[in-house]
Structure 1
Amino acid sequence: MPHLAAHMDSVPPSGIRRIFELAQSLDDVVFLAVGEPDVAVAPHILEAAARAWQADETYYTPNGGIPELRAAIVAKLAAENGIMVDAEQVWVTNGGMHALYLAMTLALGPGDEVLLPDPGYSTFPMNARMISAVPVPYTLRSSRDFLPDFDELERLVTANTRMIIVNSPSNPLGAIFPRETIEEVLEFARRHDLWVLSDEVYERFTYGALHTSIAALDDEDRVFSVFSLSKTYALTGARVGYLVTPPGMSQILRTAQEAIISCINLPAQFAAVAAITGPQDHVLTAATHYRENLQAATELLRELGIEYLEPSGAFYLWVNVSYATGGDVAEWAERFLLEQRVAVAPGSAFGRHGEGWIRLCVAADLADIETGIRRLPRPPAQSTA
């Protein structure tokens, strides 16, 4: 039989999905591995989608999305992000994942290098390999509060480097880059004439820290910005995100969208209009819920003497269990699931420098979160003989 394309062997599998699928085959599992909001979708959003289905509004739409959705996004970006664009710079996508892939497809070719965070979202290197680009990790270390080391970035840049990816608020870390760091990223990109890809999917969930959209500071048209309704409005299965591009790309994007997806399903687009333009109190309620869960979880981790990164955004906890994993946190997480019935995401799924750490999702029932944390092994200093 014919062979698959040679570069497909280099696409790394998802370490998160491995745990998720194993957990699905087991009973009585505490699920803390996948970033699935545990709050209900607001009724006005569901009603908008339901009306579209009942009215048989199931036809093709423009490649970039229906005009009312693009207009709503343009207004939202100006009001909330300080990003001034026109509708032709907004492209409605099949979730944030598709927006990331689309931006990388536009900017990167075979052999081009992309700087991406380590630890960082697992799809970043997967996307790069899918298009025969080369992922080059830059390290986010606990000793630097998980902020980029620009001396390291200077050493990593080559003649083949085309893009740097920034993810703030971060998945998996829950860290937020301060404005000063965002400005340094832009200056670094200017020096080396790089595209910047900014993943801002968790923009609405911040705790005592200010989220800065990098495109709001960009005056050289080098930033692609990725947003999603999945986490903000608990619409993970509806698959609606959007890519915000520099100006002048509408024709190539129209072609790219047609080739990849044509358009997003229409009822989901009407739901997205209702989500963005309608009441936002349910988003604030969700943010309060996640913040309270994070506070309770961190208090328990401190009580147990387990190291973690104090989160500034998103709904994850980055927890150090290296004392128990024997240098292979992926194998340990699988064993922990089988023995303790708790599903956590191994840190190595987010890059080499995630080894020894795990990501806990707190978008869950607080009792489950506390149960999962109490089943973690104690650090040696906390052991009792």
Structure 2
Amino acid sequence: MPQLAAHMSSVPESGIRRLFEIALTLDDVNILAVGEPDQPVASHITDAAVSAWRAGETRYTANGGIPDLRRAIVDKLARDNGITAEVEQVWVTIGATQALFQAMGLLLDAGDEILVPDPGYTTFGMNARMLQAVPVPYRLAPEDGFIPDLAQLESLITPQTRVLLINSPSNPLGRVFSTEVLEGLVGLAARHDLWVLSDEVYEYFTFRGEHVSPATLDPDGRVFSVFSLSKTYAMTGVRVGYLVTPPGFAGVMRTVQEAMISCVPTPDQRAAVAALTGPREPVDVALAHYAENAAAAAALLDERGIAYLQPDGAFYLWIDMSHASRGDVASWTERFLLEERVAVAPGSAFGRSGEGWVRVCLAADRARLLDGLRRLPAPGSAARVGDVPSAS
């Protein structure tokens, strides 16, 4: 039989999805492992999609998206991000996932290196490997407050380095980088003539500090910015995101969009227009809910003596389970799921630096969230998940 392309063996599986699929086979599981908003989609958004279906809007659109949506995105970028962009810089994608892959495909040749955060979202490295590029992790360490160490990051740059990937607000950490940190990162990229790929999926969910788009700090046109409607408007299954390129890429983007997806389904685009131009209240309600959940979760963990990173944004809590996981948090989370019926994401799924940590999604019913956190073993507990009872 023919074989798959050799480089596919280097693409790692998702440790989050593996745990999630185990959870789906079990009864009565409290799933806190997947980044899925628990908020409803606002009625004006669903109404727009339904109207598009009923009006027969099921034909191809331009590769970049319908004009109404691209103009709405241009207006949103100016209003909320401080980014001045032309319509031809905006490309509607199948979620942020396609936008990230599309951008990497533009910027990376086989053997090129891309600097990715560690811990960082799983698909950063997966995408690079699928393109036969090399993801090079830069560590976000607890002793540094999970902020990039610019000297350490600069030491990783080689003649093969082409791209620096930035993710703020961060998945899985919930860290929001300050303007000063982002200026340092963009400046480093400029000194070494690197592209910057900025993942801003959680832009509207900040509890502390303010989200700043790296493109606003870039005078050279080296930043590709990735956004999504999935988390902001609870539209994860609708799959609408967008890539904002520097000027001058319209021709190549038209070609690569045609080759990859042709276009995003029209009813989904109509829903996106409604989301971007409609009332902001549903987003504000979601933000308040996630912030309140974060505060309640932090209070419970403080009471139980369990260490965690206070999140600045996104909707995740990064929790230290090294006292229980014994150097193999992936195996521990699986045992915890089977014994306690609570699914949390192993930190090692997000990179080597995530060993000993777990990610918990705060976008959940508060009672279920707190129940799941109560089941986590605290330091000094009489028994830890997976312990073998004494024979005495």
CA displacement 1:73-114 (0-9 Å, x = unmatched)? 000000100000100000000001000000000000100000
Match of 2:18 in 1: 18
- Asked if 1:223 corresponds to 2:252, the answer is no
Cα distance in 1 between the residues matched to 2:88 and 2:219: 18
Match of 1:254 in 2: 254
Matches within 5 A, 1:323-362: 323-362=323-362
What amino acid is the match of 2:194?
Answer: L
Give the C-alpha shift of residue 231 in structure 1: 0.2
Cα distance in 2 between the residues matched to 1:216 and 1:191: 17
Cα distance in 2 between the residues matched to 1:177 and 1:242: 22
Match of 1:162 in 2: 162
Match of 2:389 in 1: none
Match of 1:106 in 2: 106
Give the C-alpha shift of residue 384 in structure 1: 9.0
Match of 2:308 in 1: 308
Match of 2:93 in 1: 93
Q: TM-score, normalised by structure 1?
A: 0.99
Cα distance in 2 between the residues matched to 1:350 and 1:169: 15
- Asked if 1:244 corresponds to 2:244, the answer is yes
Cα distance in 2 between the residues matched to 1:114 and 1:283: 33
Cα distance in 1 between the residues matched to 2:161 and 2:39: 41
Cα distance in 2 between the residues matched to 1:168 and 1:345: 20
Match of 1:141 in 2: 141
Give the C-alpha shift of residue 10 in structure 1: 0.1
RMSD: 1.0
CA displacement 1:293-343 (0-9 Å, x = unmatched)? 000000000000000000000000000000100111001111110110000
Cα distance in 1 between the residues matched to 2:103 and 2:97: 10
- Asked if 1:62 corresponds to 2:48, the answer is no
What amino acid is the match of 2:2?
Answer: P
Cα distance in 1 between the residues matched to 2:358 and 2:196: 28
Cα distance in 2 between the residues matched to 1:260 and 1:182: 31
SS state of the match for residue 209, structure 1?
coil
**Which moved further from structure 2: 131-140 or 149-158?**
149-158
Match of 1:271 in 2: 271
Cα distance in 2 between the residues matched to 1:384 and 1:373: 16
What amino acid is the match of 2:377?
Answer: P
What amino acid is the match of 1:44?
Answer: H
- Asked if 1:9 corresponds to 2:9, the answer is yes
Cα distance in 2 between the residues matched to 1:169 and 1:378: 28
Cα distance in 1 between the residues matched to 2:208 and 2:182: 17
SS state of the match for residue 360, structure 1?
strand
Cα distance in 1 between the residues matched to 2:383 and 2:266: 59
Give the C-alpha shift of residue 153 in structure 1: 1.1
SS state of the match for residue 114, structure 1?
strand
Runs (4 or more) in structure 1 with deviation over 3 Å come to 382-385
What amino acid is the match of 2:351?
Answer: G
What amino acid is the match of 1:91?
Answer: W
Cα distance in 2 between the residues matched to 1:230 and 1:205: 12
> Where do 5+ consecutive residues of structure 1 fail to align?
none
Task: Check 1:227–1:283 CA distance in 2 against 1; reply closer, same or farther (3 A cut).
Answer: same
Cα distance in 1 between the residues matched to 2:36 and 2:208: 23
- Asked if 1:51 corresponds to 2:17, the answer is no
SS state of the match for residue 274, structure 1?
helix
What amino acid is the match of 1:150?
Answer: L
What amino acid is the match of 1:242?
Answer: Y
What amino acid is the match of 2:258?
Answer: E
CA displacement 1:132-187 (0-9 Å, x = unmatched)? 00000000001111000111112100000000000000000000010000000111
Task: Check 1:148–1:264 CA distance in 2 against 1; reply closer, same or farther (3 A cut).
Answer: same
Cα distance in 2 between the residues matched to 1:351 and 1:152: 17
> Where do 5+ consecutive residues of structure 2 fail to align?
385-392
Cα distance in 1 between the residues matched to 2:76 and 2:165: 23
Give the C-alpha shift of residue 383 in structure 1: 4.7
Give the C-alpha shift of residue 208 in structure 1: 2.2
CA displacement 1:210-230 (0-9 Å, x = unmatched)? 111000111100000000000
Q: Percent identity?
A: 63
CA displacement 1:234-291 (0-9 Å, x = unmatched)? 0000000000001100110100000000000000000000000010101000000000
Cα distance in 1 between the residues matched to 2:62 and 2:16: 34
Cα distance in 2 between the residues matched to 1:151 and 1:52: 52
- Asked if 1:317 corresponds to 2:312, the answer is no
Cα distance in 2 between the residues matched to 1:54 and 1:99: 29
Matches within 5 A, 1:31-42: 31-42=31-42
What amino acid is the match of 2:273?
Answer: V
Match of 2:77 in 1: 77
Cα distance in 2 between the residues matched to 1:359 and 1:352: 14
Cα distance in 2 between the residues matched to 1:327 and 1:74: 47
